[in-house]
Amino acid sequence: MIQFEQVSKIYPGGQKALMDVNFHLRKGEMAFLTGHSGAGKSTLLKLITVIERATAGRVSINGHNIANVGPKHVPYLRRNIGMIFQNHHLLMDKSVFDNIALPLVIEGFSHGEIRKRVAGALDMVGLYGKERHLPIMLSGGEQQRVGIARAIVNKPPLLLADEPTGNLDPKLSMDILRLFETFNDSGTSVLIATHDLGLIARMKYRTFTLRQGRMLGGESSSRETMR
Amino acid sequence: MSKKPNITQSKLPLSGRIVMFFIRHVQQGMSSMGELWRSPVSSIMTMAVLGVSLSLPAALQVLVKNAENVTQSWNSAAEISLFINKGRSEQSIQSLLSRIKAFREVDTVSYISRDQALEEFQRLSGFGEALSYLDDNPLPAVVTVTPSIKYSSPTGARELLAKLEREPEVNFGRLDIEWLERLQALLKLLEKTVLAIAVLLVLAVVLVIGNTIRLAIMNRRTEIEVMKLVGATEAFIQRPFLYTGIWYGVIGGILAWLIINALVWYLDGALAELMGLYGSQLTIQSLTLTELVKLVLLASFLGWLGSYLSVRQHLRNIEPS
């Protein structure tokens, strides 16, 4: 699904965020990406979503080299990637429904279809019946779920999460991870960046570890793949 | 995987996308109208600025139009005086008159014989007594020609004068159009001034809308970032702003029209009074319906242009980070 081949990213100013990174996330796989703050996790996710572009090396998604994706096509690429953020990036003046519907509106779905899909997504994250609420009326965990619902509402083949449990207590974090597992069960590839090692330890997924911009131990640094 | 799904294409079928394209346009157009109502005070202020800015060029347009209307009736006042060679018989003069009358450039012809001229001169000049000492009548016969409407413009009248001067009986002719030329030059100057001012004010409208849209973009920075993150195209993001600009223009244009009508209504009374003193009747013509439509179309174009320039400059700078 995602392949990095000797990818380096040097920010203007000389900060080396990623050095010679190789890794491969298989189609339908769920994996973790760990490392300390500043190890390059966020940069790696930004390269996948073309928020940043690699200085060297090759990043491909589904076999497409994304260096060839022009600015005009970046939006279409992003529609295939569900993104979840630690601070969830919700629109605070819009209802939960409008927030989740945004990707569908952008893609041009009909009103009926949007209603149906948003209801489905809300159901999946356990927020059914809260579509008229404003995000501010929800708890931190619930806001995170709204963000997740928005990421999965147009059924992207790939889900990226940047510290999705960063602000949540262990119980809520576990719930969120279970949620990701259900998406993964239905065929979605999932990559979760987190520094919550305790959380990862309890789960049996591949883990990619970054340290100061380098990927440790190559591809299969952690427990065995696939359940 | 036989064929790689293209990751940079929309997932919907083409027909569905085309239909949704129009539906979205209507939705976004309406919602940006709603957006304006949500912050009524600042919206109304902006629209008022636009209305006033647009009403000035429109008022000047009304002024030029009415000035042209008035001077149209003065144009035909051009008159050509032809002085006939001395010693021509009354008969040859009569044949000249009938020839001139047949010109299609000529509206009316009147003839003042030498005797009539002398009589008139004696009456008006005050030299009455002195003239009677002269042996001979020094005055030539005069034919006064009024050009037809088509030839009443300075250039047309001049052409006609040249043609008339070629007649053998005519010694020379005079055309008193200097004042007319001056008036027309003045009108031309007025028109150019109006155009220059109009261009400046139109520019002001574009800048006001551009700045308003810039503020709107800054206000919605996070929203734009999020939209870009979830895959919105530039076209999708900029559309509400463009519609906002167009709405500003439309409402500003209508406001300008209302201002003009109020102005005309206000001035009409004063003008009627003035014209009453001159024993003449003249009313100001306001903007017609076609001119209203043109004004609103122009204003909405300016609104679009202002917001387009702003959107182009500022939207691109907002990228998720």
pLDDT of residue A104: 92
Residues of chain A with pLDDT under 50: 218-227
Classify residue B212 by burial, with Cβ atoms within 10 Å: 0-12, 13-18, 19+. Answer: buried
CB-nearest partner of A89 from B4, B7, B229: B229
Q: Which of B10, B12, B230 sits opposite A78 (nearest CB)?
A: B230
Q: Which of the four CATH numbers 3.30.479.30, 3.30.70.3040, 3.40.50.720, 2.60.40.10 does domain B79-176 have?
A: 3.30.70.3040
CA distance A46 to chain B (A): 8
Please judge whether B231 and A73 are an interchain contact, meaning their C-beta atoms are less than 8 angstroms apart. Answer: no
B5 touches chain A (CB under 8 A): yes
- B146 DSSP β-pair partners: B108
Tokens of B63: 């002024």
* A to B CB pairs, distance under 8 Å: 81
- Which amino acid type is present at position B267? L
**Chain A residues with CB inside 8 Å of B229's CB?**
49, 51, 78, 83, 89
Look up residue B145 and give its two tokens.
Answer: 């020609």
Q: Is A49 on the interface with B (CB under 8 A)?
A: yes
What is d(CA B37, CA B50) in angstroms, rounded to the nearest whole number?
A: 17
pLDDT of B282 reads 66
Question: Angle CA(A95)–CA(A101)–CA(A106) in degrees, nearest 5?
Answer: 125
Nearest CA in chain B to A101: B230
From A49, A62, A106, residue closest to B227, measured CB to CB: A106
B227 backbone dihedrals φ, ψ, rounded to 5°: -60, -40
pTM of the model: 0.72
User: What is the rounded CA–CA span in Å between residue A140 and residue B56?
Assistant: 55
- Looking at residue A221, its pLDDT comes to 40
Chain B residue with minimum CA distance to A62: B4
B251: closest CA of chain A, how far (Å)? 27
Burial of B231 (0-12, 13-18, 19+ CB in 10 A): buried
Q: Is A37 on the interface with B (CB under 8 A)?
A: no
Query: Which of A205, A125, A194 is closest to A166 using CA atoms?
Result: A194
Domain residue limits, chain B:
21-73+182-314, 79-176
Q: Does A178 touch chain B (CB under 8 A)?
A: no
Per-residue pLDDT 10s for chain B (321 aa) are 334 445 555 666 777 778 777 877 888 778 877 777 777 888 888 889 999 988 988 888 888 887 777 766 665 556 788 888 887 888 888 888 888 888 888 888 888 888 888 888 777 777 767 777 777 777 888 888 888 777 777 777 788 888 888 888 888 888 777 777 787 788 888 888 888 988 998 899 999 999 999 998 998 888 899 999 998 988 889 998 999 999 999 999 999 999 998 988 888 888 777 777 766 666 777 788 888 899 999 999 999 999 999 999 888 888 887
Cross-chain residue pair A51–B321, CB shorter than 8 Å:
yes
- All residues of chain A having their beta carbon less than 8 Å from the beta carbon of residue B222 are 89, 91
- Return the residue matching tokens 């319906």: B289
Tell if the CB–CB gap between A49 and B7 is shorter than 8 Å.
Answer: no
Q: Please check whether residue A226 touches B, CB under 8 A.
A: no
